[in-house]
Structure 1
Amino acid sequence: MIQLPDAFSEKMKHLLGDEYDSFISSYEKERVQGLRRNPLKVSEEEFDRMCPFELKKIPWVREGYYYHAGDRPGKHPYHEAGLYYIQEPSAMAVVELLDPQPGERILDLCAAPGGKTTHIAGRMEGKGFLVSNEIHPARAKILSQNVERFGIGNGVVTNEDSGRLSARFPLFFDRIVVDAPCSGEGMFRKDEAARLQWSPEHVAICARRQEEILSNAAAMLKPGGTMVYSTCTFSPEENEQVIEAFLLANPEFSILDMGERQGLSNGRPEWSKTGRSDLSGTYRIWPHQSDGEGHYLAVLKKEGTCDGPLKRTDPSYCTDPSVRKEAEGFLKEFLVEPDQYLTRKEYILFGEQLYLIPPEMIDFKGMKIVRPGLHIGTIKKNRFEPSHALALFLKKEEVKQWADFPADGVEMVKYLKGETLSEEASPRSQLSKKGWVLMNTDGFSIGFAKLSGGIFKNHYPKGLRWM
Structure 2
Amino acid sequence: MKEQFLARMKQMLGEEYDAYLETLQKPPYRGLRVNTLKCTAGQIQESGIAMLRPASICADTFYIEDDTRLGNHPYHMGGMFYLQEPSAAGAVEILDVKEHDWVLDLCAAPGGKSTQIAAKLRNTGFLLSNEIDSGRAMTLLSNLERMGVSENMVTCADPRVLCEQLKGCFDKVLIDAPCSGEGMFKKHARAMEEWSEAHVQACAKRQLHILESGCACVKSGGTLVYSTCTYALEENEAVIDQFLRSHPEMELEDCAVSFGRSGIAYGDLDAAKVRRILPMDGGEGHFIAKMRKIGPETSSKLYFQEAKPRKDVVEWLAGIVDEAFPYAMEENGLIYLKKTPFLLLKKVKVLRQGIQAGNRKAKRIEPMHHLYMSAVLRSHFKQVCVLHELSEAYAYLQGNLIMKSGWHGYVAIAYRGCILGFGKGDGTQIKNHYPKGLRLSATAHYER
| TM-score, normalised by the number of residues in structure 2 | 0.93
Give 3-state SS (helix, strand or coil) of 2:94's partner: helix
Structure 2 equivalent of residue 99 of structure 1: 96
Query: Cα deviation per residue 1:324-346 (whole Å; 9 max; x = unaligned)?
Result: 3443222122222x4x32xx13x
Q: Contact between 2:372 and 2:378, CA under 8 Å: does it hold in 1?
A: no
1:447 to 399, 405, 421: 421
The change in CA–CA distance for 1:358 and 1:237 in structure 2 (over 3 A counts) is: farther
1:224 to 214, 221, 224: 221
Query: Cα deviation per residue 1:318-377 (whole Å; 9 max; x = unaligned)?
Result: 55x6xx3443222122222x4x32xx13x2222111112463653224311111221111
Q: How does 1:342-421 map to 2 (within 5 A)?
A: 344-345=326-327, 347-357=328-338, 359=340, 361-393=342-374, 395=377, 397-406=379-388, 408-421=389-402
Q: Contact between 1:224 and 1:306, CA under 8 Å: does it hold in 2?
A: no
Mapped to 1, the partners of 2:382 and 2:354 lie a distance apart of: 24
Q: Contact between 1:90 and 1:292, CA under 8 Å: does it hold in 2?
A: yes
Kindly provide the amino acid, as one letter, of the partner of residue 447 in structure 1.
Answer: G
Query: Cα deviation per residue 1:194-241 (whole Å; 9 max; x = unaligned)?
Result: 111011111111000000001110000001011110001111110011
Give 3-state SS (helix, strand or coil) of 1:384's partner: strand
Q: How does 1:249-264 map to 2 (within 5 A)?
A: 249-260=246-257
Mapped to 2, the partners of 1:23 and 1:423 lie a distance apart of: 55
Q: Contact between 1:89 and 1:293, CA under 8 Å: does it hold in 2?
A: no
Mapped to 1, the partners of 2:9 and 2:421 lie a distance apart of: 49
Query: Cα deviation per residue 1:264-292 (whole Å; 9 max; x = unaligned)?
Result: x4xx3x423334563331111111x2221
2:302 to 291, 313, 324: 313
Structure 2 equivalent of residue 271 of structure 1: 261
The change in CA–CA distance for 1:361 and 1:206 in structure 2 (over 3 A counts) is: farther
Mapped to 1, the partners of 2:341 and 2:232 lie a distance apart of: 38
Q: Contact between 1:38 and 1:82, CA under 8 Å: does it hold in 2?
A: yes
Measured on the aligned residues, the alpha-carbon RMSD in Å equals: 1.9
1:302 and 2:283 equivalent? no
Mapped to 2, the partners of 1:182 and 1:326 lie a distance apart of: 48
Q: How does 1:60-459 map to 2 (within 5 A)?
A: 60-68=57-65, 70-260=67-257, 265=258, 268=259, 270-275=260-265, 278-287=270-279, 289-304=280-295, 312-316=301-305, 318=307, 324-336=310-322, 338=323, 340-341=324-325, 344-345=326-327, 347-357=328-338, 359=340, 361-393=342-374, 395=377, 397-406=379-388, 408-424=389-405, 434-459=408-433
The change in CA–CA distance for 1:183 and 1:73 in structure 2 (over 3 A counts) is: same
Mapped to 1, the partners of 2:134 and 2:28 lie a distance apart of: 30
Query: Cα deviation per residue 1:172-209 (whole Å; 9 max; x = unaligned)?
Result: 10001100000111111111101110111111110000
Query: Cα deviation per residue 1:80-110 (whole Å; 9 max; x = unaligned)?
Result: 1100000122211111111101100001000
Query: Cα deviation per residue 1:116-171 (whole Å; 9 max; x = unaligned)?
Result: 00000001111100000000001000100111011111111000111001111011
Give 3-state SS (helix, strand or coil) of 2:110's partner: coil
Kindly provide the amino acid, as one letter, of the partner of residue 271 in structure 1.
Answer: R
1:58 to 55, 62, 65: 55
Deviation at 1:317, TM superposition (A): 5.1
Structure 1 equivalent of residue 438 of structure 2: 464
Deviation at 1:304, TM superposition (A): 4.4
Q: Contact between 1:255 and 1:301, CA under 8 Å: does it hold in 2?
A: yes
Give 3-state SS (helix, strand or coil) of 2:71's partner: helix
The change in CA–CA distance for 1:235 and 1:397 in structure 2 (over 3 A counts) is: closer
Equivalent residue pairs, number: 438
Q: Contact between 1:354 and 1:375, CA under 8 Å: does it hold in 2?
A: yes
Mapped to 2, the partners of 1:292 and 1:145 lie a distance apart of: 26
Deviation at 1:69, TM superposition (A): 5.3
Mapped to 2, the partners of 1:274 and 1:20 lie a distance apart of: 15
Deviation at 1:396, TM superposition (A): 5.3
| TM-score, normalised by the number of residues in structure 1 | 0.90
Deviation at 1:453, TM superposition (A): 3.0
Mapped to 2, the partners of 1:326 and 1:382 lie a distance apart of: 10
Kindly provide the amino acid, as one letter, of the partner of residue 12 in structure 1.
Answer: M
Mapped to 1, the partners of 2:378 and 2:278 lie a distance apart of: 43
Mapped to 2, the partners of 1:51 and 1:104 lie a distance apart of: 35
Mapped to 1, the partners of 2:66 and 2:358 lie a distance apart of: 36
Deviation at 1:253, TM superposition (A): 1.0
Mapped to 1, the partners of 2:27 and 2:43 lie a distance apart of: 30
Give 3-state SS (helix, strand or coil) of 1:446's partner: strand
1:37 and 2:34 equivalent? yes
Query: Cα deviation per residue 1:354-406 (whole Å; 9 max; x = unaligned)?
Result: 11246365322431111122111111111111111110115553122111012
Q: Contact between 1:255 and 1:279, CA under 8 Å: does it hold in 2?
A: no
Q: Contact between 1:450 and 1:458, CA under 8 Å: does it hold in 2?
A: yes
Query: Cα deviation per residue 1:8-54 (whole Å; 9 max; x = unaligned)?
Result: 12211221122222112210012210100001010233332224211
Kindly provide the amino acid, as one letter, of the partner of residue 291 in structure 1.
Answer: G
Q: Contact between 1:37 and 1:85, CA under 8 Å: does it hold in 2?
A: yes
Q: Percent identity of the aligned residues?
A: 37
Mapped to 1, the partners of 2:247 and 2:378 lie a distance apart of: 49
Mapped to 2, the partners of 1:211 and 1:357 lie a distance apart of: 35
